[in-house]
Structure formats: C-alpha cells, structure tokens
Amino acid sequence: MSSNKKYWKSVEELENGSIVEALRNNEFVEAIPTEEFLGNNDAMSSSTSRRDFLKYVGFSTAAATLAACEGPVNKSIPYVLQPEQIIPGVADYYATSVFDGFDFANLLVKTREGRPIKIDNNTIEGAKFAANARIHASILSLYDNMRLKEPKIGGKTSTWSALDAQIKSSLVDAKANGGQVVLLTNTLASPSTEKLIGEFIALNPNAKHVVYDAVSSSEALDAFETVYGERALVDYDFSKAALIVSVGADFLGDWQGGAYDSGYTQGRVPKNGKMSRHIQLEANMTLSGAAADKRLAMSTANQKQALVHIYNVVTGSSVAVNLDAKFKSEVTKAAQQLKAAGSKGLLVSGIQDKNAQLLVLAVNQVLASEAFTTSGTRQIRKGSNEQVAQLVKDMKAGSVHTLIMSGVNPVYTLADSATFVEGLKKVKTSVSLTLKEDETALVSTIAAPVPHYLEAWGDLSLTKGTYSLTQPTIRPLFDTKQLQDVLMSLNGMSGAYYDYLKASSSAFVAGASWNKVLHDGVAVGVSQSLSGGSADYTAAANALAQSKAAAGFELVLYTKTGMGDGQQANNPWLQEFPDPITRVSWDNYVTVSNADAKQLSLSNEIVANGGLNGSYATITTADGVKLENVPVIVQPGQAVGTIGLALGYGRKAALKEEMQVGLNAYPLYKGFNDVQSVTFVKADGEHEFACVQGQKTLMGRGDIIKETTLEIFNSKDAKVWNQVPMVSLNHEEVAATSVDLWDSFDRSTGHHFNLSVDLNACTGCGACVIACHAENNVPVVGKSEVRRSRDMHWLRIDRYYSSEDTFEGDNERKENIAGLSDSLSTFNEMEKAGDNPQVSFQPVMCQHCNHAPCETVCPVAATSHSRQGQNHMAYNRCVGTRYCANNCPYKVRRFNWFLYNKNSEFDYHMNDDLGRMVLNPDVNVRSRGVMEKCSMCIQMTQATILNAKREGRVIVDGEFQTACSNACSNGAMKFGDVNDKESEVTKLSEDDRMYHLLEHVGTKPNVIYHVKVRNT
C-alpha cells in the first residue's frame, strides 16, 4: 500500500507544537516595519487616496515604488577594438580540471566577455568526476577581494624578483650549512609538478618533499601500500555493487575524496524490479546514512568490533569480538548477506585505523568484488601522518633551514599548531605560497600570492591512467605566480611553465595531440591492475578486536557538505548553504542524540520569531584541550554516547567579518584521528542558529513524500503504492487530478518543459543549490536574515524524518489503531522522534503550475504563464504585494526585503566591484520590494532554442537544461520537452512512479516527482 507515514522536519517541531503551528500559518512572522519605508509623520497622515492605499496595503508596494524612483543609471562603454574571440552576449566554454588538495572534478567553465561566471560538469567520455557544491561555489572565490594581491616579505609589500633572490640565497645558505630544505605541499596529483619537484630535490640533495593532507586518509593509504605496494586509494565503482555495507564511511560525502554518488545512484533507481541494497553503520547521521536502506547508529568502538565480526563471517575466521549484543543480530545478517552477494557485494569503511582498512581489503578480496578494483587507483590523497609529525619535530629541533609551503595552512589545520608555530620561529626562511594571507602566511617570512585555478595552467592525474589539463579562463587578476613557476626559477630554468607543461604532457596523453586534450580537458589511457598482494589480516583483526570504547563521550569529527576542510571559508555562497542534514547555515555545532541531550539538559527550540535557539556545551579532550561555548544541535540518528563536530570553521585571517563564524575544531583532531575521547558538559547561555528547516513549510499538507518498499513496488499495482488523491464531484469520488477549476489551454504545440525529480537518486548533496545561485544571481542575505526566514534560495532541499525507525514500523503501527481515542494518542506518538529515523530529501523549487495560484492573485500581472510551461516573473511590473507568496502552496517565492546589491549592510560579493564580476548578464539583478523565484532557467532554454534556430537544426533530447539539472550528476533531476514524445522526460512523466507535489490542490505542476522506493 502507499505510504501514509507521519513526517516531521525537526525535533523542535515536536517540542513546541503551538509555536510551530502558528508559524505554519504565518509566513512573515515579524512585524512589518512600515514607518521605515513610508517616510515621515506628515506623509503618514496624508489623506490622499494614493498615500492611504500605500499605508494600508503594507510597506512593500511603497518600497518598490521608492526604489524604482531611486533606481541607478549605469552607462555602458562599447569596445574600441573588440577582441576577435569574444562576441558580446555569447558565452564561451573552456574545459579544465580542478584539484585543490581536497576537492577535484572535470569541468566546463562558462565565460562571458572574458570573465568566468559559472561552473558546469564536463560530460565528455573519460571526464568521470563531477563538481560538488564547493566546486560550483569556487567560481566566486576567484573574485574574493580578500585574496593576497602581491608578494610580501616580513609583512611588507615586495616584488617577485626580491622574493626570488631571497629564496635562492636561503637555499645556498642551507646547502652550505647542512640545513634541511623542506617542500611542504598538499597532495598534488600533478605529473609535471612532481617532475619539477624531483628536479628541485636533485639540485638540492638536502631537500625533501613532505605531503600534508589537512583531513587525512593516511591509514587507508598505509593499508593499501602494505598490500599492493602503491600509495593510493581504491576508486570503488558503486554501480557494480548489488549490496553495499559501509562501516563509518560517508561515501556520499567527503570520504576518501567523495565523488562516488553518481555511481551509487545508478543502482538505487529500481529497474526491472531490482535495485541495490545499502546497509550503513555509523555514529553521526550522514548523507550515506540518510540514503541507506538499513542504518545502525553505533559508536566507532562498536563499528570496529562489527568490522571484525563481518571479517569473521565472510572469511570464516574466528577472531574473538566484543560487539554490543543489541547490534550482533543485525551485523550478522549484514555479514551473511554480504557473503551471499559474492562479487556483487562491497565493503567500505571510514575508520581511521590501518588494521580496519586492511580488513576491508581482505573482505573485498575474498568476495572478489566487482566494485573493488586495483586498476585506476585514486591519486588524490598521498599525505603521510608520520612524515608531518617528523617535520614538526625537526622544526622544533631547529634542523629545518628553509621551509617552502604550498596549498597548506598548518597553523590553522594542525591539531598542535602552537608547536608548529614554535618550530616555524626556528626556521630561517619560511615561504607560504597561498591564495590568501591566511594564518600560516601571517607568521611566515615570505607570503607569495598564487593564482586561482581558473587563472592557472596545470595537469592532473586524478586516477591512474587518466590525464587532464587545467587551463586559465581569465588573465591573472593580481600579481601572482604559481608554484610551478617558482620551482622553475629555483631550478634555474628559463621559459614559462606552459612550455614545460606542454613538453612533459606527451608522456601522458595516450597518443592524443595537445590541442585535442586541451579541447576535451581529459585523455584516458590504460591502467594495469596491481597484482594481488597480502598482509597478516588475522593479526590486524586481532589488534582491531582489542580496541576499547572511549572513556566518556566519543567525539566524531567530520567535514560538512558546504564547508569541507575550510579552504573556502570566505565564500558566502557556502556559508549560507544549509547543511543537508541539520539544515543549519552560518555555523558549525556539536550534534548529540536525543537521549544524551535529555540527560544533560541540552535542548533546541523554535522561538516566536521562527528562529531556532539551542544550548551551549563545553568539549574537553583527554589531554586537556578545551573547546568552550559550542552550539548544540539535537540530532536524530546520532549514536548514543557519541557527539559530532564539523571541521573547517572558526577562521579569522583574510576573512570578512561576516564570514568569521563557528569554532575551529582542528585542535581536537589529535594525531589525525577523527575519533577522540572527550568530556561533554552543558555551558551557560543560548545560541541563535540560522536554520531553514522550520521555515517555508507546506502548512501541514499531506502528499509531500510518497514512498514504498521494493517488495510492494514489485508485487502490487501502482495505484496501491502511488495513490492518487480523491475528491468528491457530484457526490462521487474521482481522482483529484481529473478535476479542474479552470479550462486548460492547448499546450501540445511548440515546446513544453517539465523537470523530473527522482527521490531515489537525490542524495541531498546540494550541488544544484549552488549552481542555481551562480546562474541566477541569487543574493546572499546573511545569518540574521536567514534566521528571519528571509533566505533567497530559489531551490531548497527539504529534509524529512519518518516517525518510526523503519517504513514497515510506521505502517504497522498506523494499521493497528483501534478507535478514536487510540487514533489520537497513536498519531500524537508518531510525531515524536525515533532514535534512528529514516530520512528523505526532496528538492523543491517553483513548480511552474499550469493552473498557478500565484497568477490569479497578482494585481499587476507581474507573474504570468508561458506557452512553454514556465511561470514568468516580470520584475519591472512587480510592486511587491506578496499576494503570490501567500497564495503559493509550495512556499517557493522569495521577497527582496532589502537591496542586496551595492549595500554595505550586506557586505558580500555583490557589495564590491570584484565580486560582482561573477554576475550572469543574462539574468537581471533584482532590487528591493520585488518578488522572485525559480524561472526554470528561461535564459538557458531560450538560448538553446535560438542557437538551434541559427544553426538550422532540430534540438536533440538532452540539449535543454536548467542550472540544477545540469549540476546534478546523480540523475535525480532531468529536464526536457514533454512535447517531444521520444524525450527522456516524457518517458519519466508517464512512469508509474510519477506524482506531483500536493497534487490534490489541483495546480497541475510542470515539476514531477518519483516515488521513493526503499530496499528494506
């Protein structure tokens, strides 16, 4: 049967029912400051009909009118000599690749009039890595006005020639006096750069190269190197796995670099009655845990025992384990299913322990897992914890003479950064090649500015056997030099790095020409599988089984989907991006289970203005490191006895004041171990969060999420698991979708656009949200305004929890209700948080209703419907009555309460000339008093139509795109023309799983959803 389970958005929704109910029916919860906009008392008391109208209708009409009167006049200056390659109004695209030591992808960069404005995915064959939310946002980091703009020596502005001379002098002095020269970098994955470093070390025998990853994968690297002799990571192919068991690995997040989601989702959409099954064991609620069919919330100590137990079952070993009895049955089932799956099974683990990673290799070897391959290994993590620790010891001992750092910020990211700074004082010459004058650059002898990757040349081998090029898409904005140019100078080489790169690339391009690789962005060669090695797996299992539980609370450190390792902390798009799980922006916080929160008297509550407040806590590690006043989020699904905290926040250097948010959790990252034993106590005070989850609700309506199980999906008719809501017509029940209040127009001619959203494929990653931001000039409003329910995101990803741990549990409880009193009490109980609820993500944007409620109430026809199915907004006609927002059942319209462009009150990218270079000239920048919302990227659809018309050809399926569908590498969003009967979106619109959001309202949306199927 279809799902009728009770969903709840947040814990606070359950604790403060009366306030939440009031907020559901009151979209704008604060008093409207009319006096501020209507002028002085004389104006307020005017008896003219126009003034009275403005006074009574609210401030927004007045605000829009006044803003229109004050509108700026901008004069354009034409080219005197127009560059041949630039055609005004026509976009150019450049293939490139990016790797910043943490994130990586193969990209197409859209430029307009010579400036990059948008990141797209490179979809050519061989370009396998898509952009995540952070990479989509990295275009804005190019135009960061806080970047380091020129070289500095001793904190004073200098020149590159002076800098070059001082480094060379230091190298000579180090060689003469026997001092160490250390090149400290992030993982480079660049064949040409590694070649340059090899030549540098050959010229300086006293030099060595140390690789430092701020968020380490060293234990997994050590294990793989022990077994296969290569320091690399496995590039798992999740599309080949029918059963996935993950022990503490958030592979849909940042585990081992991430980018596994597109392969994973290929098996998650039911085809021919089959889909993969996913079992997740973890402490924090993660994206992977949210997507899992079965999730066990357990501490890392129990995860280690579970991993040994799985190893025993699959390999037939008998290592003694000490697994908590409440988990043993489920873990045994998972292990038996994994063994039965054989080559279609896959085991992964995120436990930072070499022995744990060895067991993962052993189990996958025994299974002969097709998803586990030793060819095409990942080259994106190569850091060594031991080498970094030794470097700090050498610096403290005074044996390091010259330290050249690139792509690292150890003063911020090292747990014991004080010791590093102490050692840095004993280094005669320290050089920081950096994009910004960050924490490390401030205490270094020399701060050398490097270009953004969109201004630089480079090459990458992200996986063994592949080769991709990074090419500049704009001339350097500042006086910068990249690491490779510096190394060439130090090596005494003449010429430019471009020439060196082009010459060295011939060994990697698999016979392709330089121009072809530059055009395509990638070249794919052949990578041989590594011959099967082995290790003492039994000893590893015995050692892992001896692991002890944490004393006190177990702290699990992680990286948030928006912020990552903190490199882009000055990026307002990422700061305002709501976390997919907690839906909190502009903060990091400690997550705690409901049971532990009650025991410690920790709480969250929604207050009268719609904002979320929470307790503070103090975290203290075993060796006395203390983090005070950490905001608390009560997180359903958090394992009891564990707490979670995100890295990447709390930065101060080279950040605008508005972006200096959160607390630095790196001091707790002792020994590069993401699990620490801590004490955790409540502190005084109350924190104000910017959380969007309790805002813009669908006002208690049903038919929001539809889901079923694979068994019911395969055995029952669609009308059972995808019920159509019924209404009464002439005293007979008929399908709500068959009843109209208005006559429908003929939309069978021309184009008619639909957007399909598959809930099975959506992982909540948020790449679509940032892509929409970039394409449509969506403004950033800041923490205070987000808290007031005034965020401007055109696309939100709602996160829902179910009330029971499992889908079956919800249905069984509902069906066993007996009588009215039992019904009332049971449904009341079903609104309370389960300790480990199931999770669903649902992207919600303007539904572009064919019978749109907004259009019928707009007094000035600012919003209207097109023949192509898009709901238009004529911004210049909008007078800001907000009637359309009040009449929208989906709550997807956004109102410009203020002018966000060129306004010092909102000091983000739109407030400075450099930041505004990212704006898309095809989309208007909205002003105060104007309503806006998703346009289904009409500028993109019209450009596609015009290009095809100019070229005299028919548009092919897949050519029509929106920003969100273009960014979605998982296939969750598909866009196209339903009047093209062969198009993919037409087939999706006719699928049995298709339904409309709130279809009983009768709005006839052009956005379609697909029922979520769980393989429970």
What confidence score (pLDDT) does residue 822 get? 61
444 or 51: whose pLDDT is higher? 444
Burial of residue 513 (CB within 10 Å: 0-12, 13-18, 19+) is: exposed
The C-alpha atoms of residue 685 and residue 615 are separated, in whole angstroms, by: 7
User: Which positions ≥6 away from 514 have C-beta within 8 Å?
Assistant: 502, 505, 506
As a whole number, mean pLDDT of residues 645-651 equals: 94
The C-alpha atoms of residue 619 and residue 669 are separated, in whole angstroms, by: 13
For 161-192, write each residue's pLDDT tens digit: 999 999 999 999 999 888 999 999 999 999 99
Give me 10's structure tokens.
Answer: 């947040």
What confidence score (pLDDT) does residue 158 get? 93
Strand order through the sheet with 466-470: 458-460, 466-470, 522-524
What confidence score (pLDDT) does residue 605 get? 86
For 446-475, write each residue's pLDDT tens digit: 999 999 999 999 999 999 989 999 999 999
Integer CA distances (angstroms), 721 to 270, 278, 365, 518, 803, in order: 14, 22, 40, 50, 19
Nearest CA to 261 out of 776, 713, 841, 802 is that of 841
What confidence score (pLDDT) does residue 61 get? 44
pLDDT band with cut points at 50, 70 and 90 for residue 574: very high
Give me 697's structure tokens.
Answer: 């609700």
Tokens 């639909």, located at residue? 754
pLDDT band with cut points at 50, 70 and 90 for residue 37: very low
User: For residues 527 and 336, is the Cβ–Cβ distance under 8 A?
Assistant: no
CA atoms 352, 837, 786, 913: torsion sign: positive
The C-alpha atoms of residue 368 and residue 205 are separated, in whole angstroms, by: 44
Give me 644's structure tokens.
Answer: 């979670």
Interstrand relation of 871-873 and 894-895 (parallel, antiparallel or unpaired): unpaired
Across 293-354, the runs of DSSP E, i.e. the strands, are 294-297, 345-349
Burial of residue 660 (CB within 10 Å: 0-12, 13-18, 19+) is: middle
What confidence score (pLDDT) does residue 540 get? 93
How many residues appear in the chain?
Answer: 1016
What confidence score (pLDDT) does residue 1 get? 42
pLDDT band with cut points at 50, 70 and 90 for residue 829: low
90 or 145: whose pLDDT is higher? 145
pLDDT band with cut points at 50, 70 and 90 for residue 318: confident
pLDDT band with cut points at 50, 70 and 90 for residue 54: very low
To 5 degrees, how large is the angle CA 484–CA 471–CA 151? 45
For 115-144, write each residue's pLDDT tens digit: 999 999 999 988 889 999 999 999 999 999
What confidence score (pLDDT) does residue 513 get? 87
Across 80-163, the runs of DSSP E, i.e. the strands, are 92-99, 104-112, 115-121, 152-153, 156-157
pTM of the complete model: 0.90
For 732-786, write each residue's pLDDT tens digit: 888 888 888 777 787 888 899 999 999 999 999 999 999 999 999 999 999 999 9
* Helix (DSSP H) and strand (DSSP E) numbers for the chain: 36, 40
What confidence score (pLDDT) does residue 392 get? 95
For 229-258, write each residue's pLDDT tens digit: 899 999 999 999 999 999 999 999 999 999
pLDDT at 51 over 60: no
What confidence score (pLDDT) does residue 38 get? 46
pLDDT band with cut points at 50, 70 and 90 for residue 66: very low
pLDDT band with cut points at 50, 70 and 90 for residue 64: very low
What confidence score (pLDDT) does residue 810 get? 55
pLDDT band with cut points at 50, 70 and 90 for residue 539: very high
The C-alpha atoms of residue 911 and residue 658 are separated, in whole angstroms, by: 13
The C-alpha atoms of residue 700 and residue 694 are separated, in whole angstroms, by: 12
890 or 529: whose pLDDT is higher? 890
Strand partners, 972: none
830 or 661: whose pLDDT is higher? 661
To 5 degrees, how large is the angle CA 363–CA 369–CA 373? 100
pLDDT at 2 over 60: no
What confidence score (pLDDT) does residue 60 get? 45
What confidence score (pLDDT) does residue 46 get? 47
What confidence score (pLDDT) does residue 813 get? 67
User: Which positions ≥6 away from 62 have C-beta within 8 Å?
Assistant: 34, 37, 38, 54
The C-alpha atoms of residue 557 and residue 827 are separated, in whole angstroms, by: 36
Nearest CA to 787 out of 638, 905, 599, 611 is that of 611
User: For residues 392 and 423, is the Cβ–Cβ distance under 8 A?
Assistant: yes
Nearest CA to 352 out of 674, 647, 678 is that of 674
The C-alpha atoms of residue 5 and residue 708 are separated, in whole angstroms, by: 10
136 or 75: whose pLDDT is higher? 136
